[in-house]
Chain A
Amino acid sequence: MKKPINRFLLKLLLFIMPVFVFFEVLFRLGFAPIVTDSTLFDLKMLAVQKHQVKNIKLLAMGSSITLYELNSDSMVQNFKLPYYNFASWGLQMADMNRLLNSLVKTNQPKYVVICSSFPDFVSPPNNSYLNYINANSFIKDDFPELFYFKNYNSIHQVIRRKFNTYPLSLDNWGGASLSDKLRNTNSEKWNEHDIFPTKYTPLNYKALDSLSTFLNEQKIKLIFVQVPIKKSYTNTDRSKQIISGHFDSCKSIVEGKGGIYLNYYNPTIFTDSLFIDQYHLQQAGSVILTSEIVADLKKIIKQ
């Protein structure tokens, strides 16, 4: 009986092997597997795997606001703790809540910094992040090629993603700066006036509450940074009321759970010329903001 079965398995293996070889070649050529809906997140997690980023004690998390506005050089130069910026485009507070649960396990950080503003509280969580969060650590850390199969990546989508994404380069600590090319890509989008609050805002406040509770239980200090907002966005009484309400909500949630709330909304320092849209600062603006954050963090972070 063994002979025919050996022949069968050998033949099967001969058919399967080229498929694995093909995907391995694809991976080595830089055609990363599609894990989530976010190109940047996938790219970042691949970088994390490649550079074996672990045991990060000062962990930055957030959306594009944290990604672009927390200057990696300033953070690394001023703090001796291992630092990495895990932020990614479009992350909502609900996403951060899920992701932090996973990242805390692998890194055991002492401090988590979240630079945030309204856009982090407007949408429902993106369930595609669960593909990464729920994946086995063997796949995440040692064998990310398996994501091709786990998520049924079609080759044409993998190729299309590689060639159709924004040009983006991350620094060694996961941060990035807004390039002119990106800024000019879609000026209308960058200047549009987002609606706030939305029907998902309460859900995201709840996520912030849950995230703060979790970090407090883990004895990890949450530092919640409210980033500046373009003055022209806040020129009506209604806008001012909304902003003030949002600041109060975040402050009470974070401080109520033992976290630190820092607010850098200051239209006198952060003038409209430093912005490229209502929340995102240009590189010069991000340097000023980081220097202010660093000065405050130095009072908080024990090295």
Chain B
Amino acid sequence: MLFTSVTFVFFIAVFFILYWYVLGGNLKLQNVLILTGSYIFYAWWDWRFLFLLASSSTLNFFLAIWIAKSKNEKYRGFLLWIGLCIGLGSLLFFKYFNFFVVSLVNAFRVFHIQSDIHTLNIILPLGISFYTFRSLSYLLDIKSEKIKPTTDWVVFYSYVSFFPCLLSGPIDRPKTLIPQLEKKRVFDYSQASDGMRQVLWGLFKKIVIADNCAALTNPIFEHYKFLPASSLLFAVFLFTIQLYADFSGYSDMAIGIASLLGFRITRNFNFPFFAQSIPDFWRRWHISLTSWLTDYVFTPLSIYFRDYGKAGLILAILINFTAIGIWHGANWTFITFGFLHGCFYIPSILRGTINRNKKNSRINGGRFSLSAFISMVATFMLLMLTFIIFRADNLARAFDYYSKLFSRSILYRFTITEKVNTIATLTAIVMMLCAEWLQQDKQHALQIDVIKRFPVRALIYFGLIFMILFFSPPTITDFIYFKF
């Protein structure tokens, strides 16, 4: 059930009515409804994997209680390890088993050893990376006594499977979501309206920008060998925008839908294209994942390696970013992508500027500086180039793409077949960037309460609705991050 589907519109409409009109005021029943709705939402894709979700929740629910009850530190550690092994084990099996097998066979082949190991036909359960990380952070936080376990299984199961963020995040932490599930919720008009605006903004980004970019770039990436470098550059530019519009569009819709139900969930993007360096970019991109890995991977590693000074920090960063890469999928392209981004941190570590949080150039005194702009463009260009690896099916293809990209045909003209949609897409991209630039101090670009006159605001909303209806592409694609 995609957020952009008619089925979901009916689902959320019925859910909303039941949630506020029928069960409003009854917290327990509202939570039961959230859990039921989340399971229906998940089962809509494949009901068989519901058992995996439910059993993972059951295991972690009891493990957390036992960890909290036990006074024996070794036993607590043992219970945590059980949770980690089973959680990461299922993730490794469903997501990485075939990758490891193929990599092993290839490694053997280097030494002229023929092996007869076969891959399995495994279906990747949707959202497994996201709900596993949610469960793991719950166990880790309880072990380190940051939070206390909930004894209400409905609350915990709802936390793991909360449908707005079940399939592609944001990866909410227990301390953010569980207290909200335990607290009585009252309908807040301004929060719901803001949620609806964020949903509209997400829809605009997904349908008008991301899906149109996908329609334009997919054929180019498929036939890149026969196209001029100028086409390839255009495709990389559009893909970079597509990835952001697709994922942040999803996140906006998820946050917006959660707001409709009275929840405030973790922000996932903070206008990453205005980042002035790669470290700055990662503070703004997929925030819930990067902060998760910072807390549970990078920080423990940097403490562990602290005796090695800058070398230790570099090692911790490289491991952390390789983990970010591999989290995206079982492919050497993602690992290389992550590792490469880790390498981009090295100059800042050596200069000692890694923790310098660059102030937003627009907000900082309201002045726009040329150097900030150049940094932004340079960061964007660097991102574009690394996203080639992210997009490619394998490394050989990525390198081949690079070799075609850096050729004289970069100056050739290229033809655009879908002129109307291309113009609409480029216009929408400009609109998105301008709106986000102007709204950098807000949670999302459509927080336009500063415009006091309602007709003006209504005109903006209808303008976006008009663009969504007028320029949606022939096919709406799945969200890219579903496969992660």
Binding site for B on A (CB under 8 A): 1-2, 4-5, 7-8, 11-12, 15, 18-19, 22, 146, 149-150, 152-157
Residues of A near B25 (CB, < 8 A) are 1
Known interface pairs A4-B187, A7-B189; A156-B4 also in contact (CB < 8 Å): no
Residue from A7, A11, A19 in contact with B465 in the complex, judged by beta carbons closer than 8 Å: A19
In the complex, per-residue mask of B225-265: 1 if CB is within 8 Å of any chain A CB, else 0? 00000000000000000000000000000000000000000
Residues of A near B187 (CB, < 8 A) are 1, 4-5, 8
Chain A: minimal CB distance from B359 (Å) = 37
Complex alpha-carbon distance, A193 and B344, angstroms:
58
Residues of A near B20 (CB, < 8 A) are 1, 5
Known interface pairs A1-B24, A1-B186, A152-B207; A146-B6 also in contact (CB < 8 Å): yes
Residues of B near A18 (CB, < 8 A) are 462
User: Residues of B within 8 Å of A, CB-based: how many?
Assistant: 28
Chain B: minimal CB distance from A9 (Å) = 9
Q: How many A-B residue pairs have CB under 8 A?
A: 53
Known interface pairs A19-B469, A150-B6, A152-B207; A8-B189 also in contact (CB < 8 Å): yes
In the complex, per-residue mask of B159-199: 1 if CB is within 8 Å of any chain A CB, else 0? 00000000000000000000000000011110011001000
Complex alpha-carbon distance, A7 and B189, angstroms:
8
Residue from B4, B193, B462 in contact with A8 in the complex, judged by beta carbons closer than 8 Å: B193
Q: Which of B441-484 contact A (CB under 8 A)?
A: 458, 461-462, 465, 469-476
Residues of B near A153 (CB, < 8 A) are 472
Chain A CB within 8 A of B113 CB? no
Complex alpha-carbon distance, A157 and B470, angstroms:
8
Residues of A near B474 (CB, < 8 A) are 154, 157
Chain A CB within 8 A of B111 CB? no
Chain B: minimal CB distance from A64 (Å) = 23
Q: List 15 A-B contacts (CB under 8 A).
A: A1-B186, A1-B187, A2-B21, A4-B187, A5-B20, A5-B189, A7-B189, A8-B193, A149-B6, A152-B473, A152-B475, A153-B472, A154-B470, A154-B471, A156-B471
Which of chain A's residues has its CB closest to B4's CB? A152
Residues of B near A149 (CB, < 8 A) are 6, 9
Chain A CB within 8 A of B420 CB? yes
Complex alpha-carbon distance, A10 and B472, angstroms:
27
Q: Which 6 pairs show the lowest CB-CB distances between chains A and B?
A: A4-B189, A154-B472, A155-B470, A5-B187, A152-B476, A152-B472
Kindly list 9 other residue pairs between chains A and B, CB separation below 8 angstroms, not including A4-B187, A8-B189, A15-B461: A1-B187, A4-B189, A5-B189, A12-B196, A150-B6, A152-B4, A154-B469, A155-B469, A156-B471
